[in-house]
Chain A
């Protein structure tokens, strides 16, 4: 207990030096929010397995470290990150090193007037009106200690704004590279994506590491989709196997907007993802897909919440997991259909394949329904590779190993094939190919 108290004091004292380093910026309107958030942080406790939301996720190994905020700006060469790019895909590239924007490595296309893709720090300096309208409005820091921590240390992150009626042709690839060089650092990117009325954009949030370091990424992403906006969002998590990753994604959807998300997780010792989508108005559509491939002692925990607050909205959710060694997967999917949210369709599915005896899956799909004219369903399966399918392949002269690879590919492809950006799909297929060979 005292250790955790020390840890809280550690972050609190870090906040003081952080405040100093802001120099002069403390009159900034965001700073009031930072102060409130650190206040709240000091009141909240780090979750334990006694909290229902963290029942299966023990974060005590994360709490052992005193992670230092990354202040110094690491420099990386372009060659160091080329392997993390999606081939020669035409895209706008935003690169963050340990949570700080690197202008040198980024490559932002000439957008048509009004479209912004850049760092949130720059936007804060500009006192951008659109930023204030949305920043911190969706990810409430009052209940979640990690969000409070992130809000308190708000400094940098990605910012994308697509004004009404604009379409961003090429995807925006946002790469968060960690390179801590034996220092245990914490990076807390704070992202905000705003899609105006009738706009369209595709964003890839990509977390990767250059070395197998111990570090902590605590990210918060807020996404706002205005009327008829179409947002294709993807989160690709390839952190170091020793890293910790806590992320929260809040999506706020207006009338007839369409939001698709793919969450692919392969890295981190412990990773926890909260993705919450809320329909503020009729006719919205939300698709949350995910794939997690775990090995070793990895623990992956995803919590999703789809809040059908208004009628005539559709949601589809499909998460799949492949687990080997002693890895653990946790899925908690919640769908709430509020009173009067009639004509709601909500579908949720979670499938898991366990390849070895030590692996473990805890899944909890939840429905809370308060309206009657709805179609909601959820399904969850946990099992091995289908014996019959394996037998069939073997009977055709395909070796056991090869057969397994084929079946795993088929299993994963349900999610991979729904990825819209072709280059990303290829990039991912190559990674999967490589991983399955070694399983």
Chain B
């Protein structure tokens, strides 16, 4: 590599996180710490019905007896769960009918992020349930959706207005006993999104929530639940950016999807939380439990994720293929740079007959980062003719990073057909040379090659997101060329 390239790389490597800012909004927070009282206070602040409090307390009591897991290929300082404040809401409580009533500073924050609600409303036709910290403050297009009988609101509203649905589905895919972080989330989740698509309805627009983590020391515990009733279809987008921080912030979200007979859910994520600075200081801990259950026959759940942010990403969006002929898909791009660590992948549990799953995972590691794919394909005894195809590729940029694959295949049925393949390589020098000699700089060339490498996944994203994802990838790649 020439010295000019090296200079260029160094210069790029020093670029700062573009979305690092803190908007100063008075937050109504609970004191730090975690005990039953805090959970009671949290629940009463949110005016929750009794059953919800009971559920939270059960989860908390269960959590107390659990051990923090340590099997993932990630390393971090121990988390002090008593040092976290479990609730923070923007002070001016919502109940707003229009954007004019929203705190102007809040709106400004969205402007900086490039997600103007007005613009979204007018141009993109995307209904945005904007989550600022933990309480949703504005919901758009609600009326239009409610005409079709679609419920799309914050989790707190859903608990108040649709307790029967919450009782039926909350925790039905990820029970509060599931794992350490899911239990913690069940005990203290502050808010999140809820969507219910009634029978036979095709949701006319992409539902979307922009998450933002704000206010120092506030762990974000989102809870998302999407239920697609028989024959319905919904596409859900989740995207996020977070401000610059020195301390590590814990994010332990839970996402549950339920697809009944012939229903389809498409869940797309672009995650660009603060990854820490170039020395690995700060950054978000992203320990998320995401799971979808294909309950009904011919149902389909598809996960697409582009993970570029967070100091540590630790998540496995999974599909439980219970209904006969159900389909699970997982498309992922995970990019790590500097000292980022990612341990991500999926689980495909084949239970029903003729179930099919596809896994495409693309990992890119640069700098001193570590990127792991960990996946499970399990075919149960009765899953006749189950079919799985997995492909996980890793791309290494630089010689200080690591790429790891840990696929688990557990096959209990002789009619199953399971294929797994993985490759690890670096960007071809001949490819870069070719682009160079066409007058394309090394930096741009790598951007192009990486984007091409991820194309299989990007093409699964809804159009609005695909653009953002490509931009994000290029930003994350800046400074990694070498």
A and B held together in a complex: yes
A residues lining the B interface (CB < 8 Å): 52, 56, 339-340, 342, 352, 354-357, 359-384
Q: Are A382 and B396 in contact (CB under 8 A)?
A: no
Q: How many whole Å from A320's CB to the nearest CB in chain B?
A: 15
- The residue that B405 contacts in the complex, of A356, A362, A367, A381, with Cβ under 8 A, is A367
Q: Is there contact, CB below 8 Å, between B414 and A357?
A: yes
A contact face: mostly helix, strand, loop, or mixed: strand
Contact present for A370 and B419 (CB under 8 Å): no
Pull 16 A–B residue pairs with CB atoms less than 8 Å apart, ordered by A: A56-B410, A357-B413, A359-B414, A364-B408, A366-B405, A369-B424, A373-B399, A376-B423, A380-B407, A380-B418, A380-B419, A380-B420, A381-B420, A382-B411, A383-B416, A383-B418
Least Cβ–Cβ distance between A209 and chain B, in angstroms: 29
- Contact between chains at B419 and A375 (CB < 8 Å): no
Nearest-CB distance from B257 to chain A (Å)? Answer: 27
The distance from the CB of B48 to the nearest CB of chain A, in whole angstroms, is 38
| Other 12 A-B pairs with CB < 8 A, given A362-B411, A363-B420, A384-B414 | A354-B414, A355-B414, A364-B407, A364-B408, A367-B422, A369-B402, A373-B426, A375-B423, A381-B417, A381-B419, A381-B420, A382-B409
Within 8 A of A (CB), among B390-430: 394, 396-426
Contact indicator A377/B424 (Cβ below 8 Å) = yes
Beyond A367-B404, A371-B396, is A378–B418 a contact (Cβ under 8 Å)? no
Chain B residues whose CB sits within 8 angstroms of the CB of A354 once the complex forms: 411, 413-414, 416
Contacts of B397 in A (CB 8 A): 372
Q: Which residues of A contact B415 (CB under 8 A)?
A: 357, 384
How many CB-defined contacts (below 8 Å) exist between A and B?
Answer: 113
Q: Which residues of B contact A380 (CB under 8 A)?
A: 407, 409, 418-421
Alpha-carbon gap, A369 to B402, bound state (A): 5
Q: Contact: B421 with A340, CB < 8 Å? A: no
Q: Check B71–A362 contact: CB distance below 8 A.
A: no
Query: Whole-angstrom distance between the alpha carbons of A369 and B403 in the complex?
Result: 5
Report the Cα distance A376→B426, complex, angstroms: 10
Instruction: Evaluate contact between B400 and A367: CB separation under 8 angstroms.
Output: no
CB-contacts of B420-479 with A (<8 A): 420-426
Query: Which of B399, B401, B421, B425 is in CB contact (< 8 Å) with A378?
Result: B421
Q: Nearest B residue to A356 by beta-carbon distance?
A: B414
Is B61 positioned at the interface, with any CB of A under 8 Å from its CB?
A: no
Q: Which of A366, A376, A378, A384 is the one whose CB lies under 8 Å from B417? A: A384
What residues of chain A lie closer than 8 Å to B394, measured between beta carbons? 367, 369
Is the pair B396, A379 in contact by a Cβ cutoff of 8 Å?
no
A379 to B414, CA, bound (A): 19
- Known A367-B405, A377-B423, A380-B419; judge A362-B410 contact (CB<8 A): yes
B381 lies within 8 A of chain A by Cβ: yes
The distance in angstroms between the C-alpha atoms of A375 and B410, with both chains bound, is 27
Q: Which residues of B contact A384 (CB under 8 A)?
A: 414-415, 417
Which of A340, A366, A372, A373 is B404 in contact with, Cβ under 8 Å?
A366
User: Given the complex, which residues of A lie within 8 Å of B418, measured CB to CB?
Assistant: 380-383
B453 to chain A, nearest CB (A): 14
Known contacts A357-B381, A362-B410; decide if A372 and B398 are in contact (CB<8 Å): yes
Residues on the B chain within 8 Å of A373, using CB: 399, 426
**Chain A residues within 8 Å of B406, by CB:** 364, 366
Nearest CB in chain A: distance from B296 CB, A: 26
Measured between beta carbons, the chain A residues less than 8 angstroms from B405 are 365-367, 378
